[in-house]
Amino acid sequence: MTAASSAVPELTPAQRTEVELVARGKQEKSRTLRDLGQPETPEAAHALLLRLGLWDEARTPYADRLGATLQAVALDVPDFQEEERLDLTHLPAYAIDDEGNRDPDDAVGVETLEGGLTRLWVHVADVAALAPAGSPLDEEARARGATLYLPDRTIGMLPDALVERTGLGLRDTMPALSISLDLDADGNADAVDVHLTRVRVQRLTYTQAQERLAAGEEPFVTLARLARASRELREGEGALTIDLPEVRVKADEGGATVSPLPKPEMRAVVQECMTLAGWAAAIYADDHGLPLPFATQDAPTRDVRGDTLPAHWARRKTLARTRFQPSPGPHHGMGLDLYAQATSPMRRYLDLVVHQQLRAHLTGSDPLSGKEVAARVAQAQMNADATRQAERLSRKHHTLRFIAAQPGREWDAVVVDRRGPQATLLIPDLALDLPLSTPAAPGTPLKVRLTDVNLPALTVRARVMG
C-alpha cells in the first residue's frame, strides 16, 4: 500500500495537529507540509500521517472533510402521548430487513377485502409524534439530513433512544403511521388512505421471509403476488429496472470485509411495497392539498435495452437526479405520476417531513406551508448530500483495505463501458468500478489482479491476467 516516498522527521505535537487539520479538511495551509516539500492537500497530509504511523489504515477522514457530524444526538426524547388510533393489532405485520438491522422503521401486512380486493398495509414508525416540526429533535435531524452509515459505525439522524422507542417490532405493540392501498388482482389501486394506528409487528430477516415465501406461507405469497403485479404496471409506465451488484462493507481496526449482498425475491417485494406506500402517501397529500417534499425525476435521456451488466450500467447513466419540491410531479424512473419517500422517517429527514405533514392533517393541526417545505428541502438536501458522499468515500476506503489484504487474489471483472481507448471495468464481488486501458468490448469478462492500492488518493490499479 503506497503513501509517500521519502523519509521525514518526527513531527512535534503542534506540527501533528496542523497536519491532521489539513487531512481532516479543517485547514487549508500547512507550513509543515510546505517545509517537507509536500502539497498542502488533505490527501498529502493523510499520506504523511499514515507513513509516520500517526494514523492507521482504519482511520477515515471523509465525514470530517465534508462536514458530516460524527457525534451522536444528545437530546431528550419525549414519550408518546395518548391519542386516538386505529387498532390493527389483530392483523399480522412483519418488519423485514437485513440481519443485524437496528432501526426497524417499516413493516408490511395484508388484509383480505370483499370484491376481490386486497388491502396492503405499510406501517411506518410514528417518529413525527416525538419529533414534530420545529422541535429540537426536528431541527437536529434537519441539520444532519440523514443517518450516516459508515462501515465501522452508524451515527443516527435522531437519538438512539428515539429509535428504541419508535422502532417497529421492538415491543409487543407499537404506535405507527400506516398507509393502506386497496389493490385488485392486477395491482391497480382502488383506494388509498393514511391512519394513526397501533400495530403488532414481528421482525424477520430477508432470509427468514424468503424461506416462508418458498414454503407457500401467507401473507408472503400474497405480498409477492401484489409486488409482481405492481412492478409490471410500473414497467408499463416506463419504470426502469437497474440491477447492478451491491455489497455490504464492514470494518474495524483489524481489517475490512466486503460481502456481496444477497437479493432474494423478498427484498424486491419489500422494496415494491415501500414504493407503493410512497405513491399512496403522495396521492393522499395531493388529494388534500397538502405540501410534501414530493420526489420527481425527469425522463431518461435515452432508451437502453437489454439485461446485461453493460446495459444496466448504461441505463443508470440515463437517469437524472431526483429532485424534491413542494408540489407533485412525475417520477419517470419509477414510472409514477407522483411520489414521496415516506417509509424511513428515522433515517431520512425528508421522510420525517412527509410524516409531520401527514400527521398534522390527521390530527387537525396546521401543516407547513409550501414555502416552509421548500426551505426544509434545500437545507436537508445539502446536509444529506454530504452524508451520502462521506458514506461513498468511506466504503471505497475500506474496500481498498480489503483488496490490499489479498495482494495475490484474481478477481472476476466485466467491461461495462468504454470511451476511446479507456474502458470502465466493474468487479461485481466488490461493486467497484475503475478505469482500464484495454481493447476489450463492453460485456467482455476479464480476470484481473488489483495492485498499487493508495488509500489517501482512493486509487487502485487493475492488471489483466492471462
User: What whole-number distance in Å separates Cα of residue 315 and Cα of residue 238?
Assistant: 12
* pLDDT tens profile 80-124: 999 999 999 999 999 999 887 888 999 999 999 999 999 999 999
Distance CA 428, CA 418 (A): 17
The per-residue pLDDT for 242 is: 92
CB 365 within 8 A of CB 81: no
Rounded to whole angstroms, how far apart are CA atoms 439 and 423?
8
pLDDT at 182: 98
At residue 421, the pLDDT reads 87
As a whole number, mean pLDDT of residues 252-259 equals 96
Question: What is the torsion angle, in degrees rounded to the nearest 10, for the CA atoms of residue 294, residue 295, residue 299 and residue 303?
Answer: -150
pLDDT, position 9: 72
Please write the tens of the pLDDT for every residue from 133-144: 999 999 999 999
Question: How much is the average pLDDT of 55-77?
Answer: 95
Looking at residue 99, its pLDDT comes to: 84
Evaluate whether 211 touches 222 at the Cβ level (below 8 Å).
no
**Confidence tier at 54 by pLDDT (50, 70, 90):** very high
Beta strands of 367-444 (E only): which ranges? 410-419, 422-427, 432-437
Is the pLDDT assigned to residue 277 strictly greater than 80? Answer: yes
- In the prediction, which pLDDT does 1 show? 53
Among 132, 137, 173, which Cα is nearest to 359's?
A: 132
Q: Tell me: pLDDT of 6 over 60.
A: no
* Listed residue (367, 348, 463) closest to 407, CA to CA: 463
What does the pLDDT read at residue 314?
Answer: 94
d(CA 227, CA 218) in angstroms, rounded, equals 14
100 versus 367: the higher-pLDDT residue is: 367
Residue type, 78: P
* Percent of the residues in the chain that have a pLDDT greater than 70, as a whole number: 98
Q: Look up the pTM and report it.
A: 0.94
The pLDDT of residue 58 is above 50: yes
Listing DSSP states for 185-254 in one string gives TTS-EEEEEEEEEEE-EEEEEHHHHHHHHHTT-TTHHHHHHHHHHHHHHHHHTTPPP-----EEEEEETT
Please report the domains of the chain, with CATH numbers, ordered by start residue: 13-55 (1.10.10.10), 86-397 (no CATH), 406-464 (2.40.50.140)
pLDDT in the model for residue 5 = 43
The dihedral built from the CA positions of residue 45, 46, 49 and 51, taken in this order, carries a sign that is negative
Q: Given pLDDT bands bounded at 50, 70 and 90, which one contains residue 3? A: very low
Return d(Cα 33, Cα 92) in angstroms, integer: 62
- For the cut 50, the answer to whether the pLDDT of residue 4 exceeds it is no
- Kindly report, residue by residue over 387-435, the tens digit of the pLDDT: 999 999 999 999 999 999 999 999 999 999 999 889 999 999 999 999 9
> Each residue of 333-363: pLDDT tens digit?
999 999 999 999 999 999 999 999 999 999 9
Q: Can you read off the three cell numbers belonging to residue 67?
A: 462536514
Q: What is the mean pLDDT of residues 261-265?
A: 93
Among 139, 141, 129, CA closest to 356: 129
- Model pLDDT, residue 415: 97
Mean pLDDT of the chain: 95
Q: In this predicted structure, what is the pLDDT of residue 67? A: 92
pLDDT at residue number 221: 98
pLDDT tens digits, 19-32: 999 999 999 999 99
Please report which confidence band the pLDDT of residue 2 belongs to, taking 50, 70 and 90 as the band edges: very low
- Please classify residue 157 by burial: count the beta carbons closer than 10 Å to its beta carbon, then call 0-12 exposed, 13-18 middle and 19+ buried: buried
My answer on whether omega of the bond before 219 falls inside 30° of 0, hence cis, is yes
pLDDT at 175 over 90: yes
At residue 177 the predicted structure's pLDDT band, cuts being 50, 70 and 90, is very high
